[in-house]
Each structure stands twice: as structure tokens, then as C-alpha cells.
Amino acid sequence: MQQKEQIIRTEYSEVMQKSYIDYAMSVIIARALPDVRDGLKPVQRRTLYDMHELGIRYDKPYRKCARIVGDTMGKYHPHGDSSIYEALVVLAQEFKKGLPLVDGHGNFGSIEGDGAAAMRYTEARLQKITQEAYLADLDKDVVDFVPNFDETEKEPSVLPVKVPNLLINGAEGIAVGMATSIPPHNFSEVIEGVKAYMKNPAITAREMMKYIKGPDFPTGGIVVNQDDLLNIYETGMGKIKIRGKVEIEEAKGGRQRLVITEIPYTMVGANIGKFLMDVGSLVENKKTGDIVDISNQSSKEGIRIVLDLKKGADVQNLCNMLYKKTRLEDTFGVNMLAVAEGRPETMGIVPIIRHHVNFQYELATRKYQTLLAKELDKKEIQEGLMQACDVIDLIIEILRGAKNIKDAKDCLMNGNTEKIKFRYKGSVADAKQLHFTERQATAILEMRLYKLIGLEIEALRKEHEVTLSNIVKYEEILGSRSAMAKVIVKELTRFQKEYGTPRKTQIENVSEAVYEEKKIEEMPVVLLMDRFGYVKTIDLAAYERNKEAADGENKYVIHCMNTDKLCIFTDRGQLHTVKILELPYGKFRDKGTPLDNVSNYNSSEETMIYLNCMANLYGKRLLFVNSQGMMKVVDGDEFDVSKRTTAATKLNENEKVLAVFMLTESEKETVVLQTDKNMFLRFLTADVPKKKKGAIGVRGMKINSGDQLKAVYLLEDEERIIEENNRQIMLHGLRIACRDGKGVKK
């Protein structure tokens, strides 16, 4: 019988809201944010657990990353192999993790942004610390196991991590509507902080900072705003300013060189290349003339970026300029957001440690409860075996007289002798006194004869003494929080001694970098641009010496100051600006550089309509004419903008700027509009109204259907003749009419 279709009527917005919230929470909890207890995101947790399950221990051979990724994806993380491999790579990168958890073999990328090799080429295994402090005790029921995505496997909901990984390795992640950014810290300092909290749970963030001085980035560097750290550690939010470490070395000829040996953590990756480009730009744009050469001599031994300086360079001022103008000083935004008790929460340093310590007590409680239960089971069996050794002859008689195991077990547990045939009558009374437990009876029945050797019996008694000692120890740990704290601290101290490393990042209070920008000597220059779009500037004297050649060979020759900026008006209505100082300055015969290379102007997508310097536009008026005959006059001052690209005029769809002219103050100045069908209209420029640059303008000429504006000419008193269809047309001979007319046919 076919089931009827059921239609549920509901409000669309409510469905969207609920679905989006469900999606957002799924991303937050199950993908992007770490758990405060183990400091791991789900993909990291699953990858490490899978490596543990595959037996890829620190003392075993490496295994292909493709094997690890495939197994993790198939069993626990069905979100694509790239996310798993990226997580695996980051866990192995020493320059990103303060404590790498994976031992990578092969190309796992570089600090300069080179990516790792494909997973089929690289190999990995767990680090020793990962095995001992992150994955130990999984067999002791210390954490809950939950079904995987298809309920065919079980995975831990959290790893039994014994060190505060969230602080040691930090975390970065972008969820929906929130993001986390936690800096890494020094392993030994964090352990000391945990010990301090366990002694005094009421410890404040200020007191905690006696142990945890601040972040400790794997790339070193210098934190320069120490005073801001207290507020960051109290609130879980703020900004850390990091500088690279710069050393001064003496070079040949009395020169000096700046050597960058440590970089800000935020510069890891492609930003090293960007830093080199930024320094090159400072030199090209004449912001500094002190740098002669720059080279990146970094290797596996560490970072070494060398800036060779000219003799007599102001080293301190140059360092300050690099801090201000490049990423040699950068900001690390802190937002210590993690999943705590099933929900995202921004926490200070003390709450993070509190959650970690509570988790350690929970792990220790479950661990020693499991161990105690096992020891109690062993005690029960050991006592049964020792009692059995004392009456071994009777037990052998029972076994020989029993028809099956069930009868023998019943006799051992309950003293039931009805189904047992005894060889001696006196044994019946002794057998009735037997009251072994079920576990003891099973152990007796499974006991091998060699266990009756005297030495084996003695070993059993010694083992029993060890078991009793363990029971006392475990009961003491479980019965006293202080005893459990001692066990936790003892293990932390062992990790600290074995895996602790010296601090790499310096924590200081440094005043803000201030540098004096050298004043540019203002001087007149001449801008030259040839018909191929190559542009350069030369000094006025060089122009005067080569005036005839310069005027003849170049499309634009513009007199300006070197502190001015060039304005480029295009047919798309855009205005591109570029500082004159950014243009190459040199000799008259130098080739120059394409205008596209030094500005946002793109000659392949737009056409240059008008070119001039900003200083020449002040106090002047510009006439704009577009392809549909719309016109306006705009004050040149309006184009003094800070943006490198902005809209110079407003255009409708399919319109283009046809002409831009600088107007004079002459009352006789006229403009001539020409269409494709040779309709001409001449009128005074005074008839064109002044508008803002964002306006469309007014109609200059009524254009018939199927026709469009072809050319625009600006006339004063001079004669102007153009040639059209092998005929000469005298533009100055056209009658001056009114704007917005149809014009005359020529």
C-alpha cells in the first residue's frame, strides 16, 4: 500500500533560521574549534587516534601519509582527504607548532611557504611525547568512546591529553560567526603554571604570569607590548605586537649590514616573500637610499635575511622604518575561543588551565578506578589459587570424580558433593566446606599443573603482595584529592624534564618605532610618454638640451614637480593616479617603463583619453564628452583624491568617454561635435553647465537614430581644418549655434 505524501506547512524564515543555526553549531563544534580539554580540533584528534590504532608509534617504522589519510577518512573523518592531510602536515611542522605531535619524513613544506609534497610521497609516525602524553591510557576507560559517522567504529570523544595542549600549541580556526586564534606558549612555563594552579586554585592572571611570561612562538621574535599581556590573559582577547630579531654585522669597507635572524610568527609562509618585495619597493620608491642589496640566505639552520647598507647609513632609523613599513613588526590577534562543556567560550588563561586540571582529575579518577577494579579481580583470583594450593589433593580428587566441568565447579563453589565420586570417604566432609567464588573456581579449573611447583607458588604469593600494595595505593589516590594531585604533578614534572625547551620569544616593553622620513627635495621635472605608453621623468636641464627631440618623439610632454602626481583619465570613466616619484627618473635616452607597470591603468582593457599632472588641474575646468553626446564641465580640484583609482565621471550602460579637454577662460572658446554621418554642431563652451564629477551631464547634441558621436574638437580663435571623405572641412567656418541642436550636414 503506497504511503500518502505528507505536506508540512511552516514559516520559511523559521526553517532557514533553524537550519542555519544547526549548520553553524555543527561547524563550530565538529570542525573548526578545538576542545579546551585536549586542545585539538576533531580532524587532528581523529588523525592522531587513527595513527595510534594503526600502530605507527614513535619507535616503529614510518608509514605513508596516504595510508594514514585514507584510513582516517574511511573510519572517522569523511570530509575529504585534503583537510586531513593539511592537519597532519601542520602537526609535523616545527615552525608552526611549539610542540610537534607528528614526526614527518620527507618534504613537509618550509617556513617560506613551500607546500608539502603529495601524501603519496611523504611518511609519518607519532612523536614520543604524543604517545606518552596524548594517547596513553586509552585502554583504561579514561574517556568516552562514541560511534563514528556510520556507526561501524568507535572513536574517543576527546583524547586523554595530560598536558595543556591548547596553550602549548595554540590554535587557529574560522567557524561560522566566530574564530579562534590562540598563540603557542613555552612547554615548561605552562607546566609550571598548571602546578601553581593546583597549589592555589584562586590564583589570578597576574600571579599566573609569574610562571607563564607570555607567548612563545616557534619562530622566536620579540613581543614588544608586555604591559598589554595581562589584559589579554584576563579577557582572552587582545593584540600582541611581535617584531623580528635584527642583528647588526660589520661588512667590508666600513659598511654595515642588517641581518634578520628571527621573524614574527605571522610572517611564516608567503609573507617572507612579501617582506622582501616590500623592502624592494621602499628602495624603488626612494623611501630609503640606505639599502644597497637584499638577499635571503635562510636555510635549515634558521632564518637569515641580509640587508647590505651603504656607508654611513642611519641603522636605527632604517630599522624603525622596516618596523613601520613592512611586516617585520606585526600584530597577532588573540581570541582564546574553545569548546568548553559543549559550547564555544572565550576564556582567559586561568579558566583554560582550570578546565585542563579538572580534566586531569577526571582522567586520573577513571584510570585508577579501572586499575583498582583489575587489581581487586586479581586479588580474588590469587587468593583462590593460594587456597587451592593448600587443598590441592582434595581438588584433584573432585576433578577426577566429576563427570563434567559443571559438576566440578558446583562442588568448588557450593560444596555440592552429590554428583562427585570420592575415593576417600573423609574427603566428602572436606569438600562440603569449599566456598570458592565463581572467578576463583574458573581460575582453579584452568590452572596448569606446573603452577604447583614450589617456586611458582612462592611467585604467586609475592604477586599477591604486589597486588595488595597496588590496591592500597590506588584506594589512597582515589580517596584523597591531594594524593591524586601528587600523582598528576609527578607525571607533569617528568614530561617537563624530558620535553621542556628554553624560551625562544623575548617579552619586553618597547616604545613604538619612530622614524624620520627624509624630506624629498622638491624640483621641477618633465614627464615624457611615447606612443607605446613608456613613461619616465627627466630633469628640466636635460629636457631643454633635447627639447626638439623630446617634443617630436613623445606623445605627452608635461612639465610638473617631482612631488606631484599624474592623473590618467580613461574611456571607462576611471581616474588612475600615480605619484611622479614612482615613475623612473633618469637620462633622456633611457627607455622608461610601461605606464601599466606603475599604476592601476590597464591598456588592454581601457583607453587613455587625457593625461596631466594634478597641479596643472588646480583652478582649471575640464570638459567631459561621452559617446552619446552627454557633456559637463567639472572643476579640476575635484580630482585631487587619495585613492589610486576612482570614478572620474558617471556613465550609463554602453557609454564611453569620448574626450576630456582643459578649458581656457576665453569667451570665444567653442566646441565642435561630429557624428558618424558627418553632422556637425558648433557652440560655445560657456553653454555647457558646471557639474560634479559624479553627475552624468547634459545633452550636447541631438543625435539621430542609427548615428553616434564620432569626434570632439575644441577651438579658440585659431583656424582648424579636418579632412573627411577626401574633402576639407573648415571647423572655424561653422556657424556658432546653440547647444542641444541637430547640427548641419557636411
Q: Could you list the active site residues?
A: 121
* Cβ contact 278:327 at 8 Å: yes
Q: Which residue, 733, 736, 709, is CA-closest to 721?
A: 733
CA atoms within 13 Å, Cβ hemisphere of 251: 17
What does the longest C-alpha to C-alpha distance in the chain come to? 151
- With H, G, I as helix, E, B as strand and everything else as coil, classify residue 391: coil
In the β-sheet with 123-126, what is the strand arrangement from edge to edge? 63-64, 123-126, 102-105
What are the angstrom distances between the C-alpha of 183 and each of 27, 98, 150?
A: 22, 10, 35
Other CB atoms within 10 Å distance of the CB of residue 284: 12
Question: CA 339, CA 347: separation in Å to the nearest integer?
Answer: 10
Question: CA 482, CA 708: separation in Å to the nearest integer?
Answer: 93
Question: CA 65, CA 42: separation in Å to the nearest integer?
Answer: 18
Q: Which residues contact 358 (CB under 8 A, 6 or more apart)?
A: none
Q: Which residue, 247, 241, 245, is CA-closest to 266?
A: 241
- With H, G, I as helix, E, B as strand and everything else as coil, classify residue 673: strand
What does R_g of the chain's alpha carbons equal in angstroms? 42
In the β-sheet with 256-262, what is the strand arrangement from edge to edge? 245-250, 256-262, 305-309, 291-296
C-alpha cell at 49: 587516534
Distance from the Cα of residue 390 to its chain's centroid: 70
DSSP structure string for 605-617: T--EEEEEEHHHH
Burial class (CB in 10 A: 0-12, 13-18, 19+), 509: exposed
Beta-bridge mates of residue 154:
147
Distance from the Cα of residue 646 to its chain's centroid: 32
